Chains A and B, each alone.
Chain A
Amino acid sequence: MRYFLQRFLQLLLVFVLVTFSVLVVMRMGSPDAQTLAIKLAGRPLTPAESQSLIDTYSLDRNFFFQYLNWLKNLVFHFDLGFSPQNGLPVAELLKPRVWTTILLGLYANVFGLLIAIPLAVNQAYRRDRLFDKAGNLATFVAVGIPGIVLGVFLKLIFVVNLEWFPSIGDKIYPWDDLSLHFQNFFLPALTLTIPVAAIYTRLLRADMVMTLQSDFITLASAKGVPPGRVVWKHGLRNSLFSLVTAVGTQLGALIGAAVLVESLFDLDGLGSQLVVSVLSSDLFTVQSFVAIIVLIVVVVNLIVDLSYALIDPRIRQARALG
């Protein structure tokens, strides 16, 4: 519990520091509150409009105060600010798009793991055989291939040549229409899944190869445990450390890739909206979107941290002792 609290406070500090820095970066470079108000609005303002903006967001005070104001609005009113360019509260901009990105991230992780675990386990088991070597080569290329390149190639194959999927994506969710959802989300999800699966595979394989050389694996064999059970039951669980860590550390890269993929496949999500907002200097929106993204990253990392203890009783004990 003490460990959890410590970790929680640490991540809270990271969240506050990052969101504060983002606010400063977003609002710096304006000599006075009026100019800042105009920049935030993204258009000329009447004095009354400008004054109301200044009052609501304390734009005439220093950054520290502005940040507290922003944080207060976020925590107590779940007010993410206003996007003047869209004429909408940022939350309204967020709501219809958030599922696109969450689903993409979820698919990438779920399918990534579904591909990575059997692949890595078999590679480690058949170490240095042809299967392993082919797997190593494939994952090496897949880890390094830039997201846009992979997306374009997949599009070329499946959209242009095979004509299996529509060329412009439409955000249709599974609860609306499952088959249309599949048509629209398959390629973007695949583009995200391939590198994720490759990274997971490489990490798990490396750990697994080490584990399979442990004495307790030999002992398990010497007990007469069938090879399949030795590898899956004794080997896998002892090899999960890097993989679980990667789910947390790769999240940032995954979100970055989602930004690209949503733009490439014209799928309307947080990522593509973020790019639009950045390009049009919609400062409120960008700030709030980044804050949400950082929040997600921080929370996932906290969960990852807790799951170590779930896997390994030794970590559980060490943490219980504080």
Chain B
Amino acid sequence: MSIGSPNNITQAATRDIVGPLLELTDVRTHFRTPRGLVRAVDGVSFTLDRGRSLGIVGESGSGKTILSRSIMGLLPTKGTERSGSIKFAGGEIGDKSRKQMRHVWGKEMAMIFQDPMTSLNPLMKIGNQIAEPLRIHLGMSRGDAMATARRLLQDVRIPEPERRLEQYPHEMSGGMRQRVMIAIAMACGPTALFADEPTTALDVTVQAQILDLLGEQRRDRNMSLVLVTHDLGVVAGHTDEIAVMYGGKLVEKAPTKRLFAAMKMPYTEGLLASIPKLEQPSHSRLNVIPGRPPDLVHPPKGCRFAPRCPYASAKCIEEEPPLTPAADDPSHSFACWYPVGSPEYHEARERIAATAGVN
């Protein structure tokens, strides 16, 4: 259990970073199965600066979790094909093995999982679980590690940290456990934090607290945050930018405000429509996007969303739209032939309204 010699990757993060912290170019993650190649992530590119936060949004099956795990390199080696370039703090990590990535995990990059009930070791005291990465990566003594763990518990606003250190996960509530997970992720001061549906398993009241805590920690520690979720509402107030994924691809990416003000993809529109709104009477029907996510072995030829898109035309089914910047705002890019607001879009809407009226 050696600490492992610091290599290029780990050193990179400690020096001043020039350029983006995270730079993805055409990242692909495919799984080999007897049925064929499952294209879980199929050509994703984006950059993320240090201290900024990015929300990755999509339905289950859109590849968002696999994408976050691809970046971290937390994937099984058997049957997985990865390609493209992932640069972290200027160094290429896309081709690193799990063994090499071990020194990055927990130290430079950390991850928070969805279900706090199953993500902590049930047989290990909280204190030891927080201290573990400290001792491994920073070579701290037991005493130092425990003192740091205590401070971390304080940071994530857990009352009576001294007593909690000696407790087991089952003695805590879900929200408390998620705080512990954040403390673990924060332990070695990573520069990038991946949160995979961090609030999905929690009560609504606790959700907001956890999201606020994440945002606060990000600002205090100058971390980059990648927040993966299926819920546009979650990312709305908590990330600088939003990337929408569908069928293994990015279909729209924009600064948060801009996205909500001028979304271009009908898919994003659908996602937004599916958030229950407070002003709606309770029990009103939720809007859902009809249909199922695309088959990732044999994806549709044209736009992957076309089969479910209410505004799709022949071109959408035939040709795949590229991810292109919007004319009026280069920070906003989307992949759609007839984006929301275009003449064709209005035409299609009117057509739909007309048929609905006839019925």
Contacts and interface: CB of A to CB of B under 8 A. Distances in A.
B132 A225 contact: yes
Nearest to B117: A215
B107 interface: yes
B74 A218 contact: yes
Contact of A221 (B74, B103, B107, B170): B74
Contacts, number: 81
Given A222-B74, A224-B102, A229-B1, A216 B119 contact: yes
Given A221-B105, A224-B136, A226-B102, A317 B170 contact: yes
Given A222-B74, A224-B137, A225-B136, A314 B122 contact: yes
B113 A218 contact: yes
Contacts of A226: 1, 102, 136
Interface in A229-277: 229, 234, 237-238
B110 interface: yes
A237 B106 contact: no
Contacts of A222: 72, 74, 105-106, 110-111
B243 interface: no
Nearest to A224: B106
A234 B115 CA distance: 18
B132 A223 contact: yes
Contacts of A313: 122-123, 168, 170
A224 B1 contact: no
B121 interface: yes
Interface string A291-322: 00000000000000000000111100100000
A224 B136 CA distance: 8
Q: Label chain A's interface by main secondary structure.
A: helix
A228 B98 CA distance: 13
B136 to A, nearest CB: 6
Contacts of B122: 216, 238, 312-314
A218 B133 CA distance: 14
A214, A224, A238 interface centre (most CB from chain B within 10 Å): A224
B28 to A, nearest CB: 22
B303 interface: no
Interface string B95-121: 000110011111100110111001111
B184 interface: yes
Given A220-B121, A225-B133, A238-B123, A215 B105 contact: no
Contacts of B181: 219
Given A218-B113, A219-B113, A314-B168, A224 B119 contact: no
A219 B168 CA distance: 16
B208 interface: no
Contacts of A314: 122, 168, 170
A218 B106 CA distance: 12
Q: Select the residue from B115, B132, B171 with max chain A CB neighbours within 10 A.
A: B132
Given A224-B136, A314-B168, A216 B106 contact: no
Interface string A203-225: 00000000000111011111111
A223 B187 CA distance: 9
Contacts of A221: 74, 98, 102, 105
A315 B102 CA distance: 33
A233 to B, nearest CB: 8
B51 to A, nearest CB: 22
A218 B114 CA distance: 12
A289 B72 CA distance: 62
B124 interface: yes
Nearest to A316: B168
A237 B137 contact: no
B123 A223 contact: no
Contacts of B106: 222-225
A234 B118 CA distance: 13
Nearest to A311: B123
Contacts of A238: 121-123
Interface string B77-104: 0000000000000000000001100111
A285 B102 CA distance: 63
B133 A224 contact: yes
A317 B72 CA distance: 37
A234 B124 contact: yes
Contact of A219 (B107, B119, B188): B119
Interface in B1-25: 1
A219 B120 contact: yes
A313 B171 CA distance: 10
Interface string B119-159: 11111100000001100110000000000000000000000
Contacts of A218: 74, 113, 119
B1 A228 contact: yes
Contacts of A220: 121, 132
A223 B1 contact: no
A314 B120 CA distance: 13
Contact of A224 (B103, B121, B168): B103
Contacts of B118: 214-216
A77 to B, nearest CB: 46
Which of B105, B110, B121 gathers the greatest number of chain A CB atoms within 10 Å?
Answer: B121
A220 B136 CA distance: 12
9 contacts: A215-B113, A216-B118, A223-B136, A224-B105, A225-B133, A227-B102, A238-B123, A312-B122, A313-B122
Interface of A: 214-216, 218-229, 234, 237-238, 311-314, 317
Interface of B: 1, 72, 74, 98-99, 102-107, 110-111, 113-115, 118-124, 132-133, 136-137, 168, 170-171, 181, 184, 188
Given A223-B105, A224-B103, A224-B106, 7 more contacts: A219-B120, A223-B133, A223-B136, A224-B107, A224-B133, A317-B170, A317-B171
